[in-house]
Chain A
């Protein structure tokens, strides 16, 4: 069930979408006034992880290409955006190891433009990786992107005049309010939903599900894959930029393979190939990862003091992930999508069933 359900009742569904968006807006407005900074940050992170999960899902779930490089594309996006919105004064003050490259001091752009630039540069790199690697068929993409991601991290650590090396960038002017992250999430959801509902969405599914059938229909499977991968990398770049802006500090260690691993968890838990699943997965994985932080803190039971074990939450999370894979392979949503129609027919079934008994 990979296709998006058909819209049987467009007036009702559009109305419901408007209502749901209004409810979300009301919640965000309430949250802004009543929740503390830590909680707001987690709510922000849910949206950003959903964007990132969605972009990786486009590559892995929808187009069927196993990629381990998302952290690298996020890093490109995060640095591009940060370098564009830091002020010249901040830049000259921050580079202590090596002086900043002179051309870089003066470039400046508004935040939204920097997001676009982040996505475009990440997409450009993604395209350059995909062109040669996908020629060899999909099997080598995982290892090639893993290598790429590490290379990017090493480059960032060493290209001090541009990236400030291991010290990273600090004091990035913050623009990532709840409105910004959820605005971007809604835009991303709308784009991917439109894409997957279009004929090109069916082309991507055909290439994933049956390469020979796709070829006999005259589909160039190679360029379809390159295009899908490049679009996913665009999302990775934008998501990385938002993430860096939310935290206001970035350094190369933020973009290690564990970052990609968290995104994979999101889409595996949520459902490979499902737009809805990317959001559901992000909510679950982001809150779980935060909640599990307590296991890394020291615990005192009576007079016994157990020191916190760093990395323990990833261990527990891996166990949970394995449980998901054993008991619900296809993730929570499988490949299916949320739709108002499905919700209403489910509700009708439940109420009718209840009335009969």
Chain B
């Protein structure tokens, strides 16, 4: 098997006594689009800075295309970086910005001109060579930064929240454009973001980070449908959490849980102790509302409708359960039907196959 384009083994970084990155193992395959997703302060930028060589790991090692780079300074790592604030050199024109990396590599003039033109063409900025970055819009700056990072044919392209300074519409356009450019160039890419929408749309695989650790690495569908930990389950999309009791010890694959008088077998990726309180998670859009219980293998929760939230394509129905907990059911608006009236008694129904149980403590 070929070496991974980027490979992190046991990487740790301390600031003072606090670990910003707390032992990370991560591989990005050749040509892959990998996203580091996590809340603010979880150590994404720190991880990126270690790959780029701006920070030195306190433990562990980093390989780029099979080569150990721990002692390589940033300017010898062949990395393309796009910063959140773009970091375009204000005293250089667009063309000079893009040419900078090639100039540092002592590429000859004619070749530079050719490659700069090609890079600007790639990001649809043909003809803006002589502009100054300060005279450009956010989206244009973003493209210049991308062209500047790509023109050097980097081993890996690192993007640190590249879209967070753009407005919503532009952000959606740029998402697709960056993905498109990445497909065409085939460059291994690591994107850092706290925007799950971005991660789901753009990535081949997503690594979800929390407090300096990686909770799960998987493709978007798996992350959304089979979150490995309670943190992932809660961080991505909306999730209902219900306090239930594990019947027997289990975990790793499945576990039986009890809610009131009902018992059912659900997925349980982590270890669970017998007769302990655990959390049962299910997505609002995977649950339905019934007028009365059906008594089959599914989980059924009695409650009262409290509130409707109209969201265009869907409506969220907030239900107060009889045991005092509450949960949200999401109904598609396509059938023309109206959700049950506020105050009416309903039964929330979820298939056992759509439930996952997690330990109450998110990090065990």
Q: Do A and B come from one complex?
A: no
* A interface with B by C-beta (< 8 Å): none
